[in-house]
Amino acid sequence: MGVELEYGEVSAVDYLTCRIRVRLDDRDGVESFWLNVPQRNSQGTKRRPLMPEIDEQVAVLLDEDGVGGVYLGGIYSTAEPPPVVDENTDYVRYSDGTVVSYDRAAGVMTLDNVGALLVKCARNVTVESGEPVVVKAPAANLVIPLVTLDGNLQVNGNINATGTIMDTGGNSNHHTH
């Protein structure tokens, strides 16, 4: 029994079973049966990337009778060209406008998120950088019971504090002579 490579557009998506149906170009737009969308991991490690989207151009591998088959992937065309043509860039642009990219020639990874970013960790988080770290925001709120700073602190602006400020000699901001 042989298989045939065919092209079409996604006509239906079943998110629960990770399957799609495809309008087949070479079969006058006839809709395929449900086709499996292969996943990278499905046992101990499980992964479920975003499913193909309705009307996305795709390649599928079908049985001779066109009943069974599998989705191979999305296909770019002149009508829907790739978003990046740089050979050194890995790029994902989500439908909401969020972009994740990596330029291996420059060694730069970029996350341009249109919404919120949440990082959660049950243990410690370490950030190491070979160059200065810059954080730009209109404000920052640190909810931390204890902060230890190894090194000098330079403040270019005012310090407003509630509570007592003590130095290592036990002198406070309320100390008088």
pLDDT in tens, 105-157: 999 999 999 999 999 999 999 999 999 999 999 999 999 999 999 999 999 99
Nearest to 39 by CA among 24, 29, 53, 49: 49
The answer to whether 137 and 117 are in contact (CB under 8 A) is no
Q: Which residue has the higher pLDDT, 44 or 83?
A: 83
Is the domain spanning 3-74 CATH 2.40.50.230? The answer is: yes
Q: What is residue 130's DSSP assignment?
A: S
Confidence of residue 29 (pLDDT cuts 50, 70, 90): confident
Q: Which of 48-52, 56-60, 111-115, 151-155 has the lowest mean pLDDT?
A: 48-52
List Cα–Cα distances, 124 to 121, 142, 149, in angstroms.
Answer: 7, 16, 17
DSSP helix/strand/coil, 27 = helix
Domain boundaries, given as residue ranges, for the chain:
3-74
Which residue bears the tokens 């290592």? 168
